[in-house]
A and B are shown apart, each in its own frame.
Chain A
Amino acid sequence: MRRIVSIIILIIIAVGFIFAFSKIPFGKDKINVANYYIKKGIKQTGAVNIVTSVVLNYRGFDTLGEVTVLFIAAVGLGAVLFVERKIQKNMDDKEDKTKRASLILRTGSRLLFPLILLFGAYIFVHGHLTPGGGFQGGAIIASGFLLMYLAFPKQRINKKTSGLAESLSGLIFVGIGLLGLVFSGYFLTNFLPKGIPNTLFSAGIIPIIYIAIGFKVGFELTGIIDDLLERSR
């Protein structure tokens, strides 16, 4: 019964899709507002990567919201899976005999971990020149920490420090926005010099915000994995 009803719903939605998609031709030029970004983006923001300049300059408010969403997810996950410290100790004792990973895995991950962190940092520092940016870099850093969790199940990051780094980098983002409000009257304006395009030190506030986002996302995703692994065994 449930299956039949849902298939009917799906068919209705599919018909809607077909009608709607037939009005949007694939691969045709329908760029409207974005023309402005493509033509004036480099001059106005100094970033070579137009996606970056859209993400952080023209639509920077969305990115602030996106960072907030991830922050909410990390905080909410911590709240939902929260276990009192005392109970958690007991559980840890019970789980003491977690099996170690093999030698090859341990050595390999110890070798690769700094390289992965370096690569993540490269990705978010070069966000305005090459594809990538804060979020991607942060996810790579979090993957590095995930690798360490997998290879060494008993080691943990320091939650307090990572939480502090998280809120500090969030504050940096909001603070830069407020500085823009002070200097030029608009929230999240680019108030720094734009530099020469296609060099590392260019594009005003974009690299700073991307570094902040990179740290924030990295620590948040690591915190999510840590909470999932540690709490509520």
Chain B
Amino acid sequence: MTLMIFFGVIIIAVILALIRAVKGPTAPDRVVGVDIMVTITVALMVLLGIFFKRRIYLDVSLIYAVLSFVGVIAVARYLDKGL
């Protein structure tokens, strides 16, 4: 039950980030929105692992925790013309 409330809050947070990602006037704004979405998703996946009661599911969120910033850095290095 508590988990359900958490999921609800997280979904609202994802929607807020989505609005920023779609609306944001400049490219960095959108990247910020998507980056936030990824971070929230890592937490969501861990909570879902608790919900499904499978420990092995944590590996997926571990991958996002490790790798999500590579994409953001790629965009950032493009924007400051270093790539």
Residues of A at the B interface (CB closer than 8 Å) are 98-101, 105, 112, 115-116, 119, 123, 130-132, 136, 140, 143, 146-147, 150-151, 153, 229
Contacts and interface: CB of A to CB of B under 8 A. Distances in A.
Interface stretch (B13-21, B25-33, B36-44, B75-83): B75-83
Contacts of A99: 80-82
Contacts of B5: none
A130 B63 CA distance: 13
Contacts of B77: 101, 150
Which range holds the interface residue count of chain B? 10 to 19
B58 to A, nearest CB: 9
B42 to A, nearest CB: 15
B73 A136 contact: no
Contacts of B80: 99
A123 B59 contact: yes
B4 interface: no
B64 to A, nearest CB: 11
Contacts of A150: 70, 73-74, 77, 83
Nearest to A146: B70
A140 B66 contact: yes
Nearest to A100: B82
A131 B56 contact: yes
Given A115-B66, A131-B60, 16 more contacts: A99-B81, A99-B82, A105-B73, A116-B67, A119-B62, A119-B66, A123-B63, A130-B56, A131-B56, A131-B59, A132-B59, A140-B63, A147-B70, A150-B77, A151-B73, A229-B83
Given A130-B59, A132-B59, A153 B66 contact: no
Contact of A153 (B59, B63, B83): B83
Contacts of B63: 123, 136, 140
A101 B82 contact: yes
Contacts of B82: 98-101, 153
A116 B62 CA distance: 11
Contacts of A140: 63, 66-67
Contacts of A130: 56, 59
A141 B68 CA distance: 14
Contacts of B70: 143, 146-147, 150
A123 to B, nearest CB: 7
